[in-house]
Structure 1
Amino acid sequence: MGAQVDPLTPMPDEIGTARTPQFFIAGNAPLQERRPRTLKHGDTFSIFDHNGDALSGPGSLDGIFHRDTRYLSHFSLTIRGERPLLLSSALRDDNALSIFDLANPDLEDAEGNIILQHDRIHVRRTRFLWRDTCFERLSLRNFDDVAHTVPMEIEFGSDFLDLFEVRGARRKRRGKIHPPSVSDSEVILSYTGLDGIKRQTTIRFDAAPKELTQSRATYAVELAAGQTKQIFIEISCGRPPLAMSARRQYFSSLREARRETKLLVRNAASIESSNDIFNEVIRRSVADLYMLVTRTKEGPYPYAGIPWFSTVFGRDALITAAQVLWMDPSIAKGVLKHLAANQATEEDPEADAEPGKILHEVRYGEMAELKEVPFRRYYGSVDSTPLFLMLAGAYFERTNDIQTIHELLPNIRAALDWIQNYGDRDGDGFVEYGRRTTSGLANQGWKDSWDAVFHANGELARGPIALCELQAYVYAAWRAAALIADAMGMGDEALRYGARADELRKNFDEAFYDHELGTYVLALDGDKRPCRVRASNAGHTLLTGIAYPDRAAHVVKTLMERSSFSGWGIRTVATTEARYNPMSYHNGSIWPHDNALIAAGFARYGYRAEAARIFDGIFAAATYIDLRRLPELFCGFPRQRSRGPTFYPVACSPQAWAAVAPLYLMKSCLGISFDPIGNAVSFHQPHLPEFLDSVVIRGMSMPAGKLDVLLRRLGTEVVVQVLDRDGDIRVTTTY
């Protein structure tokens, strides 16, 4: 996934050898416990606590980050030195604003007499991000029947730490923090890194403080009975503030931010159901998706997740785009074109790059610039390339956009060449991975933590490693290439690609299916020894169709046994396995996106009731989570009555492919497919989970127009009713 390693565990320098720390994430600041309020726009994101503060200190994740550097590490509001009382904090449903409602605490004079009783002054902090700037409106209202002067302080500071330092990396040397520049209403904080780049944070206040120093703004706000006053604060990362006042800039930028959000979602289908809580989950899913989407010159691109992965990741974006392809094809188009523009064209062992390989990760911080971490432009994921081909084929099937596919054809051919010339390292017909530099990632599938690939006795697998799901993706890549070649009139190539897929399917079944396990083995190690482990990876074989039909029933049965299915979802590793740990990153935890992909595989082979059980578990988990926001992962403990899931302490939230998991689960259960040439939408064996009686989907796009449909339970079946159609679109239902 987006992660480089198990965030809580050091990684081996080489698989199977002694562990040394590598890009780990410190586990001393649990995100869920703090209920942070997170915002993102473009290359900037912010994390503030439920009071609206960013509190610095050891292990703190708070602040404003821009292009992998923390530009603001401390920002706190006090009333005469006391923290205000929290009333509530929330994000708008569309993630446009975070809102914090606070009240004054009791204030005493030197003799201990109360001079201002609590809850007389209401403080509302309203905040949003636009481009590289954080805007805040601070509103104070006096609800007392007498006037008050409110002594208020805002403390601020920046450590300009690289994101990898915030994650826990330690550096021997750092650059130079410069003395702050202070005027009546503005402070400039700056730092020059060892890379020679000067980074600066500008903080503006409107109205001007009574006193402004290099780390504090002090106010004495005079409020008559019933009076409201506002202060506007602007925090810019790098870019000098515009000439207009912070007050005017706040409202101007808010209008632009709302306009962009509306433009982003204008082509997306919407979902509304009979379950109000599920509607909240869906609204948050959609809002999180489009908050994580960043505009690139090639089109919209979903960044992987906050805080650790708010940048371009190949695998994450490809899977996210595939999950929402049915409701918004424009994201897939943006992802394909951006990754094509950044496809490797030459060998670079330090970056794990080879011609035709698709990008894994891009970083812009000081440590990446200095190569203290290898991720400036890094290609160390073995599955991004076949996933790129899979998405290209799926996008073409969904849209019939022949022009875009024609533009991508050189990249498609280069990716296929990589599979043949570099992916299959030993010529056995399977694609393997093995890093080309000791600074790169040791495990390069989506389960990329140090101990994610192992044998039945717990022994770590030695490379090169051929993962089972990777072969499934490669199979789908050949199928996609055949589809595209046929559409382009390249019949011979289409036949050749189809034959490669058939051959791989046969060989995969012989080498990976284990009758005793009742499923596919996790991987083959460098000696071609099977890793006989029951893992969720096997479910991805159903997703792509590489599994023969008579194998599917066994795979579904194994994954739905209590050792794998916890009630919340399918664990990454079954409880029976040697390295099972429900609190681990990849060896027993539950990942929403993994479950959504597996459920799609179940549905592909006709197991929609089982897919609906997974949907029910993931939805039930979301009902217990703050903001109804599904995190990157949660722990794999069994589901118990009247108790929610156990959180993983440093899971990203929001995380793109987790956010859209409910949308993909919906598509799988309803059996939705598209025929853009015939302008038809089909529902094959639609099935609603028990928590839904009806669903309305509006604005499903086709070349001929858009479609609104209602699906509702009628006895044991789900019936489909067309509510509205813009254009000549056919709707078919099969049972």
Structure 2
Amino acid sequence: MKRLVSILDGNTFLVCDERGDIEPSTDFPTGLFSFDTRFLSTWLLTLDGQRLNTLYVDEENSYQTRYFLIPDRPAHFMDPKVSVIRSRAIGGGLDEELAVLNHTGQEVEFTVRIEMAADFADLFEIKEDRRQKGRSAASAEDHQLRLTYRRERFHRETVVATSAPAQIDGQGMTFTVRVAAHSEWSTRLHVVTTVFGARSEDIRASLPLGGSRSSRQIEEERRQLIDRAPRLGCDFTPLERAYQRSIEDLTALRYESITLDMRLLAAGLPWFMTLFGRDSMLTGLQVLPFMPDLVPASMIVLSGLQGTRLDDFRDEEPGKILHELRYGETAGFEEQPHSPYYGAADSTPLFVILVDEYERWTGDTTLVRALEFPIRLALDWIDTYGDLLGTGYLWYETRNPSTGLENQCWKDSWDSISYADGRLPGFPRATCELQGYAYDAKMRAARLARTVYDDPAWADRLEREAAELKARFNRDFWIADGEYYALALDAEGKHVDALASNMGHLLWSGIVDESRAAAVAAHLLGPRLFSGWGVRTLATDQGRYNPIGYHAGTVWPFDNSIIAWGLWRYGFRQEAGRICKAMAEASRYFNGRLPEAFAGYDRDLTDYPVEYPTACSPQAWSAGAPLLMLRVLLGLEPTGEHLIIDPAVPAGMGRIELLDIPGRWGHVDALGRSRTD
């Protein structure tokens, strides 16, 4: 597979190959994207009719890249007579400076050509390989090429301008240039994308930043955010690098909402550059000790878009928290239900959990009081619409068999929930971690009811319901002969008995009986689930196990961070540290940036983690994983107005020092050290 290079600035991102070229691809989406629409589908450079080869790519910053190219393949003892440098930056649109350098002692004439096209494809069309053809119109004007698309009131436009004279046609620009000896020729190309609204104006113009920022503005804003994050000093270089990379990526993944005057965290590039309920809240839990300012916007927007009606098309129900919000053509014309879509059974309890954790860290009772009504609605949904069979469990089954998600837990691919022999259960399904989330949501809401909402009777009821759920769960989900929790219950109440990583989420939620926690920990760190790099999503002896199956054997960094947190909660500090250290070691092979997922091959087999072929990178909850693992290693836990620090650092990691941890206590420092170092 080609190596892909990406740059992003919140609302806008670009994915291309290592030469800087964009070509339509079904393997992975390349192009210039904004708000779920591809504004450039072709951007292909040739010199005298030949494609170029890469010497080096400078991609240190997430919003700008530089490509060093030559006509021939790089080789030893080769002195290229010409080279090309493409310097590009993103900020609402795209700016590229193209320079051709003549390294000879005589004048040379070149023909520089850039093929340009915009199919204005919706991201869903690209992902599902059902793109329409011949969608856009092109017109050549003085120093610019205009590409447009209209469908009723849906109107998008791309305009490419050049600073140097060019022959412009409907497919691109041609430059005939003469370059003196040891000199260079250059042009600046500026790409403007327009998302037209009802008044035939770019709707992004009303955003606080006007939809466009300079490189200097982007750098200044991100630097301010990064400088406010705690400073890490660490002897273990992979962890330190992963932390810095994560902080940078999380700032880059922020985007401006079209509908609300707020900056939100996008879930991940390239498929999920939008608000996701589950992803946003789990990422919020990961980043709270480090960048609490990133969290309130997600809670406010998710509460504002909380379900109010029964809508089968969108899987909407009163009190339910959304799964995904999209802005593209297919959502606008209701070819997809994502405007927004509510097909997730876990987003609603996770909302309650995040609000409580936010209050515990920040002490921001003003916002938490404002969210009391959405909290009550969310808990009502758990007990009513969420309990499809009236058994006291949280179930899911889509209301929309045509376009709704089959699996509405975090493992949302079609075959992720299976019996041990590989068979798939019918619907509805009640996965185990959903019950843990529901239990935790009730326990946390009870705390808020007592300490913030002044409703002790409600708190008593929630605690009683949580205790009943815990007892019922440990009776019905426990598989005694294997000493583990079933992945799910099927519609008949029978065990969906696959051995999977979901048990780690149960530890995090606190629903596991203390007497069974050691058996769960042993499974999670046993050879069937633990690859040496992390916990697999599915054990190796299960019928659907595949080390490169999306949810059927791969290792997910976010999943492992939650599992480590759960192990820590039950006192398995050594096991939690083992996962954290392995994940940090894995990050070395991804330049510090943990991807969405990587293969579940045994560490002894590969010696390095193998990235999942189409993994999102950067992805918010993968970027959040090193942060949560730092919390686990240092034993950070808010208690009242104080932060408890109880470190347990694995052997070989040395010193970990985290300075200026923000919270309701102000700022404090934490220090941990391997006991054997």
TM-score (norm 1): 0.85
> What aligned pairs does 1:261-340 form with structure 2 within 5 A after superposition?
261-296=222-257, 297=260, 299-340=262-303
Change (3 A) 1:252 1:353: closer
Amino acid at match of 1:46: L
Q: 2:366 aligns with which of 368, 393, 403?
A: 403
Alpha-carbon offset, residue 229 of structure 1: 4.4
Maintained 8 Å contact 2:9/2:63: no
Maintained 8 Å contact 1:322/1:394: yes
| RMSD of aligned residue pairs (Cα, Å) | 2.4
Task: Tell whether 2:550 aligns with 1:585.
Answer: yes
1:168 aligns with 128
> What aligned pairs does 1:611-630 form with structure 2 within 5 A after superposition?
611-625=576-590, 627-630=591-594
> What aligned pairs does 1:367-378 form with structure 2 within 5 A after superposition?
367-378=330-341
Task: Tell whether 2:37 aligns with 1:69.
Answer: yes
Alpha-carbon offset, residue 687 of structure 1: 2.0
Change (3 A) 1:218 1:354: same
1:387 aligns with 350
Alpha-carbon offset, residue 280 of structure 1: 2.6
> In structure 2, how many angstroms separate the alpha carbons of the residues matched to 1:198 and 1:665?
45
2:162 aligns with 205
> What aligned pairs does 1:383-532 form with structure 2 within 5 A after superposition?
383-439=346-402, 440-488=404-452, 489-532=454-497
Task: Tell whether 2:638 aligns with 1:674.
Answer: yes
Maintained 8 Å contact 2:8/2:63: no
Alpha-carbon offset, residue 102 of structure 1: 1.7
Change (3 A) 1:641 1:698: farther
> In structure 2, how many angstroms separate the alpha carbons of the residues matched to 1:504 and 1:238?
51
> In structure 2, how many angstroms separate the alpha carbons of the residues matched to 1:307 and 1:491?
46
> In structure 1, how many angstroms separate the alpha carbons of the residues matched to 2:53 and 2:113?
15
Q: 1:236 aligns with which of 192, 204, 217?
A: 192
> What aligned pairs does 1:248-267 form with structure 2 within 5 A after superposition?
253-267=214-228
SS at match of 2:648: coil
Amino acid at match of 1:614: I
* 213-222 or 527-536, larger mean C-alpha shift: 213-222
Alpha-carbon offset, residue 259 of structure 1: 2.3
Q: 2:6 aligns with which of 25, 30, 38?
A: 38
* 649-658 or 227-236, larger mean C-alpha shift: 227-236
Change (3 A) 1:642 1:461: closer
Maintained 8 Å contact 1:232/1:250: no
Alpha-carbon offset, residue 149 of structure 1: 3.7
Maintained 8 Å contact 2:119/2:133: no
Query: What's the CA shift string for 1:215-265, capped at 9, x where partnerless?
Result: 222223444444344422111221699xxxxxxx99971122212223443
> In structure 2, how many angstroms separate the alpha carbons of the residues matched to 1:308 and 1:481?
33
Alpha-carbon offset, residue 268 of structure 1: 2.2
Change (3 A) 1:96 1:146: same
Maintained 8 Å contact 2:12/2:34: yes
2:537 aligns with 572
> In structure 1, how many angstroms separate the alpha carbons of the residues matched to 2:106 and 2:666?
61
> In structure 1, how many angstroms separate the alpha carbons of the residues matched to 2:670 and 2:107?
58
> In structure 2, how many angstroms separate the alpha carbons of the residues matched to 1:295 and 1:199?
18
Change (3 A) 1:431 1:441: same
Q: 1:217 aligns with which of 146, 170, 173?
A: 173
* 316-325 or 134-143, larger mean C-alpha shift: 134-143
Alpha-carbon offset, residue 711 of structure 1: 3.2
Alpha-carbon offset, residue 539 of structure 1: 0.9
2:111 aligns with 151
SS at match of 1:319: helix
Change (3 A) 1:44 1:691: farther
Q: 1:561 aligns with which of 526, 535, 560?
A: 526
Change (3 A) 1:528 1:709: closer
Change (3 A) 1:690 1:121: farther
> In structure 2, how many angstroms separate the alpha carbons of the residues matched to 1:285 and 1:411?
31
Query: What's the CA shift string for 1:692-735, capped at 9, x where partnerless?
Result: 2122323311345333444333547xxxxxxxxxxxxxxxxxxx
> In structure 2, how many angstroms separate the alpha carbons of the residues matched to 1:698 and 1:95?
25
Structure 2: unaligned runs, 5 residues or longer: 196-200, 203-209
Maintained 8 Å contact 2:315/2:400: yes
Change (3 A) 1:572 1:191: same
Maintained 8 Å contact 1:105/1:118: no
Maintained 8 Å contact 2:289/2:663: no
Change (3 A) 1:458 1:177: closer
Maintained 8 Å contact 1:542/1:598: yes
Change (3 A) 1:179 1:586: closer
Q: 1:136 aligns with which of 92, 96, 114?
A: 96
Task: Tell whether 2:655 aligns with 1:694.
Answer: yes
Aligned residue pairs total: 658
Alpha-carbon offset, residue 485 of structure 1: 0.8
Change (3 A) 1:638 1:202: same
1:96 aligns with 63
Alpha-carbon offset, residue 657 of structure 1: 0.8
Alpha-carbon offset, residue 594 of structure 1: 0.6
> In structure 1, how many angstroms separate the alpha carbons of the residues matched to 2:71 and 2:296?
50
Alpha-carbon offset, residue 420 of structure 1: 1.4
> In structure 2, how many angstroms separate the alpha carbons of the residues matched to 1:234 and 1:153?
16
1:188 aligns with 146
TM-score (norm 2): 0.92
> In structure 2, how many angstroms separate the alpha carbons of the residues matched to 1:222 and 1:704?
65
> What aligned pairs does 1:660-671 form with structure 2 within 5 A after superposition?
660-671=624-635
Change (3 A) 1:80 1:689: farther
> In structure 1, how many angstroms separate the alpha carbons of the residues matched to 2:246 and 2:652?
18
> Among the aligned pairs, what percent are the same residue?
35
1:19 aligns with none
Alpha-carbon offset, residue 616 of structure 1: 2.4
> In structure 1, how many angstroms separate the alpha carbons of the residues matched to 2:14 and 2:352?
34
Alpha-carbon offset, residue 178 of structure 1: 4.6
> In structure 1, how many angstroms separate the alpha carbons of the residues matched to 2:172 and 2:349?
52
Maintained 8 Å contact 1:616/1:691: no
Amino acid at match of 1:610: E
Maintained 8 Å contact 2:231/2:658: yes
Maintained 8 Å contact 1:135/1:250: no
* 628-637 or 256-265, larger mean C-alpha shift: 256-265
> In structure 2, how many angstroms separate the alpha carbons of the residues matched to 1:642 and 1:554?
28
> In structure 1, how many angstroms separate the alpha carbons of the residues matched to 2:637 and 2:183?
58
> In structure 2, how many angstroms separate the alpha carbons of the residues matched to 1:540 and 1:691?
27
Maintained 8 Å contact 2:595/2:619: yes
* 324-333 or 612-621, larger mean C-alpha shift: 612-621
SS at match of 1:561: coil
SS at match of 1:219: strand
Maintained 8 Å contact 2:433/2:505: yes
Change (3 A) 1:295 1:200: closer
> In structure 1, how many angstroms separate the alpha carbons of the residues matched to 2:129 and 2:157?
22
> In structure 2, how many angstroms separate the alpha carbons of the residues matched to 1:592 and 1:508?
27
Query: What's the CA shift string for 1:483-524, capped at 9, x where partnerless?
Result: 111112211111111111111111111111222222111011
